[in-house]
Amino acid sequence: MPLSDFEVVVGLEVHAQLLTRSKIFCPCSTAFGGEPNAHTCPVCLGLPGALPVLNERVVEMAVTVGLSLGCRIREKSVFARKNYFYPDLPKGYQISQYEQPICEGGAVAFAVDGVEKVARLVRIHIEEDAGKNVHGVSPDGASGVDLNRAGVPLLEIVSEPDLRSATEAVEFVRALRAVLVALGVSDGNMQEGSLRCDANVSVMRRGASRYGTRCEIKNMNSFRFLEEAIDYEARRQVEIVEAGGQVEQETRLFDPDRGETRSMRSKEEAHDYRYFPEPDLPPVIVPLTLIERLRASLPELPRARYRRYQEALGLSAYDASVLVSDARVASWFDRALSAYRPGPEAAKRVANWLNGEVARLANETGLGPNEWRLTPEKLGSVLRLLDEGTLGGPGAKQVVEEVFRTGGDPAQVVVARGLAQVSDEGAIEAAVDRVLTASPAEVERHRSGKKDLTGFFVGRVMRELGGKGNPAVVNALLRTKLGGGS
């Protein structure tokens, strides 16, 4: 039976590190990197007698995310101990939430090929991160444990099994990441592990009402790995079912080098973790006044911005989705549009430059919007120089690159590098005359009907003018001199 006869069912568990300066239960730094085990203390090392103290900012961030995703915020939530042994978990248990999470319900809206979709959420709960095993730290191949990450605050965002393909799963995580970044609660950096994802995957025959046995794929930290892992796992399960076998519930890991999942351990159930209330932490009480204060401070969220960009500014679904995928880029776009001039035509022009030339420079340098030396106001200045005819397209690209790298003033860069566009009709006419005089055969062929030679003449004239000729003036003069044809 082919894969098309099956339906893929996916539920996700997304772990997002929160952008607090200190850890969830102690004052240690959450900064990424540093010498192994440098950002630790008796609390996050799990030493006997050390007591946790909850970071209030973590609760505020959790409530903010819950409000943004339409969750019900619990007035009272409770921490629990999730017991399991792993080398990077020094206490032998993880402080998390189980029966009474801080947020329940809600949904994430996303789009696939322009089609709007919604996946429901089960819950959002607060927990602490574990440490990290580091392999091959010595010549004999020994492994070490770095506990700098232990105790970093996490939100675990759990979806219902509403996703029906690897593509939907990826777009769900993209949309969720955009919300978290827009709220300023997470940097969403998957390469550094700030955003990680577990996927519960099962398959069932189309038309069936009962889900198949699910397998959980752990700790994927890129969109590509998530998509590849789900696709592989779906095919693996279909092959088992086609052969008359039974899929076994288990936890699996994705091997990106081989492009396949492999068994890690039999799947645990909640009772395997022996959850029980955390005795060292009181219940979390969320006052209604705090909820309303945080609700009033919510920024414009990515999906609302996406609709505004399309409906009010006329941007394409592609341009709008690229811009809202990073709140910093979207804010940069808004400022650039305001500095240039409002309106749909201007919006398309700013988006083209931002998603094109500016994005290229950002990728080359690895710099984020807050680090660009090209400010929104300076891009607006470059676009006005284009409108005025002071700059042509090639010259504008050179100015943008120079300002991006040095932070110079666009008008001064134009003068210093001699990039001003030639619009003087006398100078352009002289160049046109030289080109036509040097190309009698081509002129005759053009006048006899070979109109595709217009590009030849434009290129020659622009070369005469060092690439700085005003294209509108060049084309107008050529039409006149060649008898009106173009």
Q: At what angle do helices 471-481 and 425-438 cross, to 10 degrees?
A: 50
**Does 295 fall in a domain?**
no
**Does 486 fall in a domain?**
no
Domain count, the chain: 3
Domain closes at, from 416, 434, 456:
416
pLDDT for the residue numbered 486 = 42
Same domain, 285 and 321: no
DSSP string, 67-80: HHTTPEEPSEE-EE
pLDDT for the residue numbered 1 = 46
Same domain, 162 and 309: no
Element (H, E) at 204: strand 195-205
Per residue of the chain (486 residues), what is the pLDDT tens digit? 457 789 999 999 999 999 999 999 999 999 988 899 999 999 999 999 999 999 999 999 999 999 999 999 999 999 999 998 888 888 999 999 999 999 999 999 998 988 889 999 999 999 999 998 888 777 888 889 999 999 999 999 999 999 999 999 999 999 999 999 999 999 999 988 899 999 999 999 998 889 999 999 998 999 999 999 999 999 999 999 999 999 999 999 999 999 999 998 776 665 677 899 999 999 999 999 999 999 999 999 999 999 999 999 999 988 998 999 888 999 999 999 999 988 899 999 999 999 999 999 999 999 989 899 999 999 999 999 988 888 878 888 999 999 999 999 999 998 888 777 655 567 667 777 787 787 777 777 777 677 667 777 777 877 776 666 667 666 777 777 777 544
Sequence-ordered alpha helix ranges (H) in 299-365:
302-311, 317-324, 327-340, 344-353, 359-365
Instruction: Label residue 288 exposed, middle or buried (CB < 10 Å: 0-12, 13-18, 19+).
Output: exposed
**Does 10 fall in a domain?**
yes
Domain closes at, from 416, 441, 464:
416
Same domain, 127 and 65: yes
Same domain, 281 and 319: no
Same domain, 354 and 435: no
Q: Which residue has the tokens 């060092």?
A: 466
Same domain, 139 and 265: yes
How many angstroms separate the CA atoms of 324 and 343, rounded? Answer: 18
Domain closes at, from 416, 439, 457:
416
How many angstroms separate the CA atoms of 144 and 167, rounded? Answer: 36
How many angstroms separate the CA atoms of 326 and 178, rounded? Answer: 6
**Does 379 fall in a domain?**
yes
263: helix, strand or coil: strand
**Residue 471's CATH number:** 1.10.10
* Residue 427 CA neighbour count, 13 Å, CB half: 11
Same domain, 97 and 12: yes
**Does 351 fall in a domain?**
yes
pLDDT for the residue numbered 158 = 98
Same domain, 286 and 308: no
Same domain, 87 and 48: yes
How many angstroms separate the CA atoms of 1 and 272, rounded? Answer: 36
Same domain, 395 and 450: no
Quote the domain boundaries for residue 432: 425-481
Same domain, 465 and 400: no
Same domain, 247 and 307: no
pLDDT for the residue numbered 424 = 55
CB atoms inside a 10 Å sphere around CB 379: 29
pLDDT for the residue numbered 218 = 92
